[in-house]
Amino acid sequence: MVTLTVEAADFAYGGAAPVLSGVTVTARPGEILAVTGTSGAGKTTLLSAMAGLLPARTGEVAVDGTPLSGRDQAVSLGVVLIPQDNGLAAILTAAENVSVAVIAIGGSPADARRRTADSLEVLGLSGQANQLIDELSGGQQQRAAIARGLALHGDVLLADEVTSELDAANRQRVLELLRAEAARGAAVVLATHDPEAAAVCDRELHLADGEAVWARP
Ligand SMILES: Nc1ncnc2c1ncn2[C@@H]1O[C@H](COP(=O)(O)OP(=O)(O)OP(=O)(O)O)[C@@H](O)[C@H]1O
């Protein structure tokens, strides 16, 4: 079980003014932290920084006290990102997308087969396992990306707008799966503009006007 901390951090792209300034937040094991805000408020920016993809201009992002230096190191520390654009390889099947990711973090082929079948099943995608991503609907692709994220059994799970294309039943199922991830000890962060999704999270950090304030500490 690990804790991810963001300490007095500014996040910016290139030489531009910071998107977010003075952000301090902790993602704790066993909890779901909601990151909310309107479009463009900086939710993806914050999750990218938590994933090791965007360095802090000032301040620090750390996992159990180890400052993040890049995505590969974050992966080795157990930080899993389910990106907003799903990040799936369109020319692979749903099952291949999940299996390749499990093998990339050191899983055996047998492990990958088992975790792939399990994670696709809980997301209701067993019947689509061997379909190419290109052949899936937007909501099915979103669920395949979530399956891939769950199959990695991360210590930190960063979920960026993962319910945006889902119907009510699937949204409910995904929120329950995120809760189960927290229950096994993961620190879960959910970026969302959906107030109902945010409401089932343990705490809520709201982004607005370049700052992060606690809506529910
Ligand atoms: N790669 C980038 N280069 C430059 N600016 C960027 C980049 N990515 C995002 N931004 C800018 O950072 C700001 C925050 O964007 P971000 O994607 O983090 O917001 P968001 O809250 O996730 O929005 P949405 O809900 O629409 O996904 C926006 O003004 C955006 O234009």
Q: What is the pLDDT of residues 3-48, one digit of tens each?
A: 999 999 999 999 999 999 999 999 999 999 999 999 999 999 999 9
208 CA → ligand 1 middle, Å: 12
Burial of residue 145 (number of CB atoms within 10 Å: 0-12, 13-18, 19+): buried
DSSP helix/strand/coil, 211: strand
Give first-to-last CA distance, the chain, whole Å.
Answer: 21
> pTM for the whole thing?
0.98
Q: Is residue 4 part of a domain?
A: yes
The span from the CA of 11 to the CA of 91, in Å, is 34
Q: What percent of the chain has pLDDT over 90?
A: 100
Q: Is residue 173 part of a domain?
A: no
Does residue 83 line the site of ligand 1, with CB under 6 A? no
Angle between helices 109-122 and 94-104 (to 10 degrees): 130
Q: Is residue 187 part of a domain?
A: yes
Does residue 22 line the site of ligand 1, with CB under 6 A? no
Q: CA 93 → CA 85, 89, 116, 150, 215, distances in Å?
A: 17, 8, 11, 17, 40
> Does residue 61 sit in the same domain as residue 95?
no
Burial of residue 152 (number of CB atoms within 10 Å: 0-12, 13-18, 19+): buried
Q: Is residue 33 part of a domain?
A: yes
Average pLDDT over residues 92-112: 97
pLDDT at 149 (0 to 100): 98
> Does residue 162 sit in the same domain as residue 129?
no
Q: Is residue 174 part of a domain?
A: no
Regarding an ipTM greater than 0.85, the answer is: yes
Number of folded domains in the chain? 2
Q: Is residue 176 part of a domain?
A: no
> Does residue 34 sit in the same domain as residue 69?
yes
pLDDT at 98 (0 to 100): 98
Does residue 19 line the site of ligand 1, with CB under 6 A? yes
Range of the domain at 69: 1-78+156-168+182-217
pLDDT at 67 (0 to 100): 98
Specify the amino acid at residue 94.
Answer: A
Q: What is the pLDDT of residues 163-213, one digit of tens each?
A: 999 999 999 999 999 999 999 999 999 999 999 999 999 999 999 999 999
Does residue 113 line the site of ligand 1, with CB under 6 A? no
Pocket test for ligand 1, best of 45, 142, 194 (most atoms within 8 A of CB): 45
